[in-house]
Amino acid sequence: MYLSSLQIEQFRNYHDRIFSFQEPTTLIVGDNASGKTNILEAVYLLATAKSFRAQRIEEMIFYDQPLARVKGSVALTLAGEGAQQSERTLEILLTRGEIQGRRVAKRRYQVDGVAKRYADFAGTFSAVLFRPEDLDIILGTPHVRRRFLDDVISQVDRDYRRSLVSYEKALIRRNRILDAIREREVPRTQLTFWDQLLIKHGQLLTQKRTDFIEMINTSPTQLDSFRVKYDSSTISAERLGQYAEQEVAVGFTLVGPHKDDFSVEFEDGKALVQYGSRGEQRLAVLWLKLAELSFIAQKNGERPVLLLDDIFSELDQGHRALVMKVILEQQTLITTTDLHFIEAGLRKDFPIIALS
């Protein structure tokens, strides 16, 4: 898997820029606010169809422009005999919901010029992102950890993507009905269809998450001092029945994978968030990212592109050396404000994109 070029138009601080990636590893160097992370965000968008930092699509569109475009040329290895390479052009169009007075979708996806739905676009190309803010996977809210699970599994599992979309839509609808039941506007029988839909897709999500976490815990890495404990909120007809009165009282669904969480522990079972130093917590994030890299490579049969966003200032020398070994195993894009964080013997061989 290889990204050969990236074109971004009216995206963040870029009007129209093309970046070529001719070598396995590329260094992107510049001061803060120069647009380094915007490049990685665009690449990640092509892989997951999601931004890792924007809350709203409009945040990614250049000021006063109606739309933004992200386009990438990628080389993928086709399954089957011969391991042939296939060139694909991926494109995402981001809008404010209106172009020339006409309402349009805020996101449009294309592969080789053919329109695709989210579930059929995401995962065509894969990337693993590692940035300082990933410490929130350890210290942040359950929502952050669920998103980590969703972003990883969605890149390699079409059924998961589809069930995730269906589950989230069914959850919104079911919560509206629960609220209406509380206000005595509709009968409880209105829940039957949505209960069945939620159970069907929720159980698939739980099983896929369980499989991923089991893989993390059993795969050997160079950092085998942690494990993940999965706190699964299973969904079934019995559990929905158990919480039926409480759900009507509060007006929303109390069980299901939207309530899942996980924690990272030391091998002795102590929670990292409580007993780990900041250095150990950062090390655990690196452990998770190496596991993510391995998982996607295992599922796809080829390694994803690795995106490192200014992480070297956060790691000690020993773990910088470990990351430097890993970057040579697949295409890697590295952003940094200071080239001195990159080992001199290696950086001389890497092309540099200098931003001002």
Query: Which pLDDT tens digit goes with each residue over 67-126?
Result: 999 999 999 876 554 566 789 999 999 998 887 778 887 999 999 999 999 999 998 999
Domains present along the chain, CATH in parentheses: 1-126+304-356 (3.40.50.300), 134-298 (1.20.1050.90)
Taking Cα atoms as reference points, which of 242, 272, 276 lies closest to residue 256? 242
Query: Which pLDDT tens digit goes with each residue over 256-288?
Result: 999 999 999 998 999 999 999 998 999 999 999
Taking Cα atoms as reference points, which of 339, 42, 128 lies closest to residue 351? 339
Measured distance CA(9)–CA(65) in Å, rounded = 10
User: Is the pLDDT reported for residue 342 higher than 80?
Assistant: no
- Tokens of residue 229, six digits: 């404990």
Q: 69: which residues sit within 8 A by CB, 6+ positions away?
A: 7, 8, 9, 10, 11, 91, 92, 93, 94
Q: What's the mean per-residue pLDDT of the chain?
A: 92
- Tokens of residue 338, six digits: 């200071």
With vertex at residue 93, the alpha carbon angle to CA 7 and CA 300, rounded to the nearest 5 degrees, is 70
pLDDT, position 312: 85
Annotated binding-site residue numbers for ATP = 30-37
User: Is the pLDDT reported for residue 22 higher than 70?
Assistant: yes
pLDDT, position 349: 79
- Tokens of residue 324, six digits: 């430097």
H/E segment holding residue 325: helix 317-327
Measured in degrees and rounded to the nearest 5, phi and psi for residue 229 equal -105, 120
CB-side neighbour CA atoms (13 Å) of 192: 5
Indicate the range of 204-213, 231-240, 316-325 predicted with least confidence: 316-325
Strand partners, 129: 307
Measured distance CA(117)–CA(110) in Å, rounded = 8
pLDDT, position 83: 60
Per DSSP, the three-state class of 284 is helix
Annotated binding-site residue numbers = 30-37
Query: Which pLDDT tens digit goes with each residue over 120-171?
Result: 999 899 999 999 999 999 999 999 999 999 999 999 999 999 999 999 999 9
Measured distance CA(343)–CA(164) in Å, rounded = 41
Measured distance CA(78)–CA(107) in Å, rounded = 27
* CA dist list (Å): 138 to 37, 257, 275: 22, 19, 12
Query: Which pLDDT tens digit goes with each residue over 280-310?
Result: 999 999 999 999 999 999 999 899 999 999 9
User: Is the pLDDT reported for residue 322 higher than 60?
Assistant: yes
- Tokens of residue 233, six digits: 């909120």
Please, are residues 192 and 175 in contact by the beta-carbon 8 Å criterion? no
